[in-house]
Amino acid sequence: MKAFVTGAAGFIGSSLVDRLLADGHDVVGYDNFSTGLQKFLATARRNKRFKMIKGDVLNATAMGEAMEGCDFVFHFAANADVRFGTDDPRRDLDQNTVATFNVLDSMRALAIRRIAFSSTGSIYGEAAVIPTPEEAPFPRQTSFYGASKLGAEGFIAAYCEGFGFDGYVFRFVSILGERYTHGHIFDFVKRLREDSSTLTVLGNGKQRKSYLYIGDCIDAMLTAINSGPKGFNVYNLGTDEYCEVTDSVGWITERLGVKPKLEFTGGDRGWIGDNPFIFLDCSKVRKLGWKPKLTIRDGVLRTVDYLTSNSWVLEARS
């Protein structure tokens, strides 16, 4: 395959790039480096099969030129931060919905018809059914991030129906592991390095969340792409477990060898649109033969170890 990867310098994008290259594929990376990091491409850049193009997904012309000659698009560029949607709702519209449309329409113009997309479990809002299957009751969006991904998914489905695309939509829980650069572990490790005496936790700490290790995430996506049916496909990606925020805090502080006093901001949500319980039914992708190798705890510990031994990441993404 000759893959086009948007968000190639990001956490998930760069991890996928390395995997595709290791598997012998050609890869064109595309990233505007607004949040992506050059260092994540160090290994890829040593590979002759890799070509990196700096560009923005909102520049459809430049992206179309960069995409030419590829036969599969992994669209991972996004505003990936669910938490700050109310600060700038248009960012989610542009960077997630409109950007995805641009990717699809560039593909159409170039007769590229296979796309994988990083969607989110946040799309289920506060799900009526938990663990939440892909065909859960029609959800009510609680975040701009979820809303923008919902629109993006809809257009992918329409391109599958209208133009014969094969679409693989992955609704992720939060992804952990090497190159993890934002989220609660990042915030906690960073703050504990500055002051290990106290740690402020948003909400009451009882929020139940699911996580998946990056290596397992990529295994799952490649399994679905290689063995899933043609046309439009949606897969939840997660482990068969969840943890409370305080569980995660316990693992992090134990690994760091610190014993901070925990201060909770209170309430059952960390922020507007925060979902107090995310737990996905992942039996659909499991039926294709995939299963996660790491537990949530293992994933959290690996992430802490990564951040500890790569403290430059904490500085780069302050």
Residues that bind its own copies (CB under 8 A): 85-86, 89-90, 93, 97-98, 101, 104-105, 108, 125, 128, 134-144, 146-148, 150-155, 157-159, 161-163, 232, 234, 272-273
Query: Measured between alpha carbons, how far is 267 from 253 in angstroms, rounded to an integer?
Result: 23
Which residue carries 């009882």 as its tokens? 206
**Of 139 and 215, which CB lies nearer to its own copies in the complex structure?**
139
Closest CA to 12 of 116, 157, 110: 116
DSSP β-ladder status, 72-75 and 243-244 = unpaired
**Of 33 and 271, which CB lies nearer to its own copies in the complex structure?**
271
Query: Measured between alpha carbons, how far is 202 from 230 in angstroms, rounded to an integer?
Result: 42
Q: How far is the CB of 101 from its own copies (least distance, A)?
A: 5
Q: How far is the CB of 56 from its own copies (least distance, A)?
A: 18
Q: How far is the CB of 288 from its own copies (least distance, A)?
A: 19
Closest CA to 80 of 212, 182, 198, 203: 182
Helix segments in 172-257, DSSP class H: 184-194, 214-227, 245-256
Q: How far is the CB of 2 from its own copies (least distance, A)?
A: 25
Q: What values do phi and psi take at 312, rounded to 5?
A: -55, -30
Q: How far is the CB of 311 from its own copies (least distance, A)?
A: 34
Query: Measured between alpha carbons, how far is 108 from 232 in angstroms, rounded to an integer?
Result: 15
Query: Measured between alpha carbons, how far is 301 from 251 in angstroms, rounded to an integer?
Result: 7
**Of 141 and 204, which CB lies nearer to its own copies in the complex structure?**
141
**Of 99 and 304, which CB lies nearer to its own copies in the complex structure?**
99
**Of 154 and 311, which CB lies nearer to its own copies in the complex structure?**
154
What is the DSSP track for 101-116? HHHHHHHHHHT--EEE
Q: How far is the CB of 63 from its own copies (least distance, A)?
A: 14
Tokens of 167: 């679409």
**Of 114 and 171, which CB lies nearer to its own copies in the complex structure?**
171
